Amino acid sequence: MLADAAIAVLARAGSRGLTHRAVDAAAGLPEGTSSYYFRTRSALLQACVERMAARTLAEMPTGTGAPATVDDLVGACVATVGRWLAHDHERLLARWELALESTRRPELETALRAAGARVRERVAATLDGLGIADPARRADDLVACLDGLAFDQLAGAGRPPRDAAGLRASITDVVHGFTAPRA
């Protein structure tokens, strides 16, 4: 609950607005609650990273729910980006705030890299299950592409947002590009 409130504060007020007091207020808890559980601002930032990674991993299909075909993977990617943009842009904004903050805080960079590695490992396992060559590298590329598309849609630099068909076409091109033979 506190990490979710901190994520909401990051999204709304940015990294500079993330204080224990702001988190307590967002959570509707007495002052001092978040600092009791997360003694430092660094601990609060790392709690955000861990909560976002846990939510992302929980949303990723595995086992029999994992994409069975490349087209299923496209559909899953389109649904994920669509969900981020329609219902979870707060998490995107908070993640980008954390990414920028990590350029100045090595301990946060370490936490983000570890969390991102867990997500990318899951994506690589899915790609490997589909028989896609070099799944670890391509998982990095796919995650970067999806993040970039989401960023462009939500905070792009003046370009009109893609409609659903345009977003699907972009993701289809990327994912199918992974299965094309190398020249």
d(CA 180, CA 178): 6
In a domain, 132, yes or no: yes
In a domain, 116, yes or no: yes
pLDDT digits (tens, 9 = 90+) for 22-62: 999 999 999 999 999 999 999 999 999 999 999 999 998 88
Answer yes or no: is 82 within a domain: yes
Roughly how many angstroms between the first and final C-alpha of the chain, as a whole number?
50
d(CA 60, CA 47): 20
Q: Give the count of domains, the chain.
A: 1
> Could you tell me if residue 5 is inside a domain?
no
C-alpha closest to that of 8 among 70, 87, 93: 93
3-class secondary structure for the chain? CHHHHHHHHHHHHCHHHCCHHHHHHHHCCCCCHHHHHCCCHHHHHHHHHHHHHHHHHHHCCCHHHCCCCHHHHHHHHHHHHHHHHHHCHHHHHHHHHHHHHHCCCHHHHHHHHHHHHHHHHHHHHHHHHCCCCCHHHHHHHHHHHHHHHHHHHHHCCCCCCCCHHHHHHHHHHHHHHHHCCCC
Report the pLDDT averaged over residues 142-163: 84
159 part of a folded domain = yes
Q: Is 123 inside any structural domain?
A: yes
| Entry pTM | 0.87
Residue 6 counted as domain residue: no
pLDDT attached to residue 162 = 80
Kindly report the average pLDDT of the chain as a whole number.
91
- pLDDT score at 181: 56
> How confident is the model over 101-113, as pLDDT tens digits?
999 999 999 999 9
Q: Given this model, what pLDDT does residue 182 score? A: 55
The percent of residues above 90 in pLDDT, for the chain, comes to 68
| Structural domain of 111 | 53-179
Q: What is the CATH number of the domain that holds 62?
A: 1.10.357.10
76 within some domain:
yes
| Per-residue pLDDT tens over the stretch 118-136 | 999 999 999 999 888 899 9
